[in-house]
C-alpha cells in the first residue's frame, strides 16, 4: 500500500493519480482522514508522524527529483544524531520554497541518490561530502567511522567515490581526513618505516612474514617472544575479522608470546607512540 510504504504520508498529486478528485481530497481533510503537513502533502489518519514520515513529507513537498540530504540524510542513515532542520536537495533548475525545509540546489547525478527505508536520499558517500563542510574534523571522522561500522561504506570505498566528485565544499576536508586514515602503505614502505621505529626503540631487526602458532605474522622477535601485527585500513573490522584477530592474539598469548597490534596510521603518523610502546614491551620482556 502506497501510504504505508511512504510512512503514512502522501502527496496531492499521488492522490489524484489514484483516482481521488479535488472534492474528495477536501472532504478527507475536513473529516480528519487527511492532515496537511506541507502544501500538497498530507499525513494519512493522524497528524503525528515518525521521523521517517517527516523525512518523506519533506521530500514530497519539494517535488520531482527531490532527495533527502545533508544533516537529514545523515540522521536517516544513522551516522549523525537528530538533525536540527529538514534538508532536501533538488535539481538546480527548480525553485520550490516549502516552509520549514532548507532547500539545496545542484545537479544531482543518478549515482548520488538511492532509496533507504523507502525515502529518496543521497547515498552515504554523497551525504558525507554534504555534511563535511559544516562539521569539525572530529565530527566528520566520527560520521565516517559510524558509516563504516554500519557497513554503509568503508573509508577506502569512500575515497574511491570521491575521485569522480568535483566542486563540493566538503570535499577538501573529507579528503584530508581520508588521506590520513585510509592511506595505503605498500609492504615495503610499511616494513621500512616500522623497522626504523623498532630500531629507535632499541629492538634488533625482526623476522617478517613468519608463521607463528599457525598464523602468518608481520613482525616477529623469537628471542624476545614478541609478535607485532599491523592492521589494515578500515576504522573497524567486521565482526568476523575481529574474531580472527582475537584468536590470533590469544594463540600467541597462550604460547607465551607478547602480541602487539598497531594500525598503518600509527606507523605513518604516530611513530613516537609506537616507539614508546615497543620500548615498554622490551623492558617488560627483559624482566
Pairing of strands 67-68, 86-90: antiparallel
Give me the pLDDT at residue 132, please.
Answer: 95
Is 226:220 a contact under the CB 8 Å cutoff? Answer: yes
| For helices 137-149 and 171-181, angle between their N-to-C axes, nearest 10 degrees | 60
Is 10:2 a contact under the CB 8 Å cutoff? Answer: yes
Is 183:168 a contact under the CB 8 Å cutoff? Answer: no
Is 62:56 a contact under the CB 8 Å cutoff? Answer: no
Instruction: For residue 216, tell me if it sits in a domain.
Output: yes
Low-confidence ranges of the chain (pLDDT < 70): 180-186, 232-240, 287
Is 61:6 a contact under the CB 8 Å cutoff? Answer: no
Instruction: For residue 280, tell me if it sits in a domain.
Output: yes
Number of structural domains (the chain) is 1
Give me the pLDDT at residue 8, please.
Answer: 96
Supply the pTM of this predicted model. Answer: 0.70
What is the 3-state composition of the chain as percent helix, strand, coil, each rounded to the nearest 5?
45, 20, 35
Beta bridge partners of 202: none
The H-or-E segment that residue 40 falls in is none
As separate numbers, helices (DSSP H) first and strands (DSSP E) second, the chain gives 13, 14
Beta bridge partners of 116: 119
Cβ-Cβ contacts under 8 Å for 104 (sequence gap 6 or more): 69, 70, 87, 88, 89, 90, 130
Instruction: For residue 151, tell me if it sits in a domain.
Output: no
Instruction: For residue 204, tell me if it sits in a domain.
Output: yes
The H-or-E segment that residue 85 falls in is none
Cβ-Cβ contacts under 8 Å for 63 (sequence gap 6 or more): 90, 94, 96
Instruction: For residue 99, tell me if it sits in a domain.
Output: no
Apex 150 CA angle, 158 and 87, nearest 5: 70
Instruction: For residue 114, tell me if it sits in a domain.
Output: no
Instruction: For residue 165, tell me if it sits in a domain.
Output: no
Continuous H helices in 117-259: 124-132, 137-149, 155-162, 171-181, 187-200, 239-254
Give me the pLDDT at residue 182, please.
Answer: 61
Q: What pLDDT digit, counting tens, does each position of 234-255 carry?
A: 444 556 677 888 899 999 999 9
First-to-last alpha carbon distance for the chain, in angstroms, is: 71
Give me the pLDDT at residue 235, please.
Answer: 46
Q: What pLDDT digit, counting tens, does each position of 168-193 carry?
A: 888 899 988 887 666 556 677 778 88
Using DSSP, state whether 231 is helix, strand or coil: strand
Instruction: For residue 107, tell me if it sits in a domain.
Output: no
Is 207:221 a contact under the CB 8 Å cutoff? Answer: yes
Range of the domain at 234: 187-285
CATH code at position 209: 3.40.960.10
Amino acid at each position: 500500500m502506497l501510504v504505508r510504504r511512504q510512512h503514512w504520508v502522501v502527496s496531492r498529486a499521488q492522490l489524484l493519480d489514484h483516482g481521488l478528485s479535488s472534492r474528495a481530497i477536501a472532504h478527507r481533510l475536513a473529516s480528519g482522514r487527511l492532515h496537511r503537513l506541507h502544501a500538497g502533502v498530507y499525513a494519512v489518519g493522524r497528524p503525528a508522524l515518525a521521523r521517517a514520515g517527516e523525512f518523506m513529507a519533506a521530500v514530497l513537498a519539494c517535488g520531482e527529483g527531490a532527495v533527502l540530504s545533508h544533516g537529514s540524510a545523515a540522521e536517516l542513515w544513522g551516522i549523525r544524531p537528530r538533525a536540527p532542520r529538514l534538508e532536501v536537495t533538488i535539481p538546480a533548475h527548480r525553485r520550490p520554497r516549502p516552509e520549514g525545509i532548507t532547500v539545496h540546489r545542484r545537479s544531482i547525478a543518478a549515482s548520488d541518490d538511492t532509496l533507504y527505508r523507502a525515502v529518496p536520499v543521497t547515498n552515504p558517500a554523497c551525504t558525507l561530502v554534504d555534511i563535511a563542510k559544516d562539521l569539525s574534523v572530529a565530527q566528520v571522522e566520527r560520521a565516517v567511522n559510524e558509516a563504516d561500522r554500519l557497513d554503509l561504506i568503508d573509508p577506502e570505498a569512500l575515497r574511491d567515490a570521491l575521485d569522480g566528485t568535483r566542486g563540493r565544499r566538503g570535499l577538501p576536508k573529507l579528503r584530508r581526513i581520508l588521506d590520513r586514515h585510509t592511506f595505503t602503505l605498500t609492504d615495503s614502505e610499511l616494513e621500512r618505516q616500522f623497522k626504523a621505529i623498532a630500531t629507535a626503540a632499541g629492538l634488533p631487526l625482526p623476522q617478517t612474514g613468519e608463521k607463528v602458532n599457525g598464523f602468518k605474522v608481520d613482525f616477529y622477535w623469537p628471542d624476545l617472544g614478541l609478535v607485532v601485527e599491523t592492521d589494515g585500513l578500515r576504522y573497524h573490522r567486521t565482526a568476523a575479522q575481529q574474531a580472527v584477530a582475537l584468536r590470533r592474539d590469544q594463540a600467541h598469548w597462550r604460547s607465551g608470546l607478547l602480541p602487539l597490534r598497531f594500525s598503518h596510521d600509527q606507523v605513518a603518523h604516530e611513530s613516537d607512540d609506537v616507539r614508546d610502546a615497543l620500548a615498554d614491551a622490551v623492558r617488560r620482556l627483559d624482566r
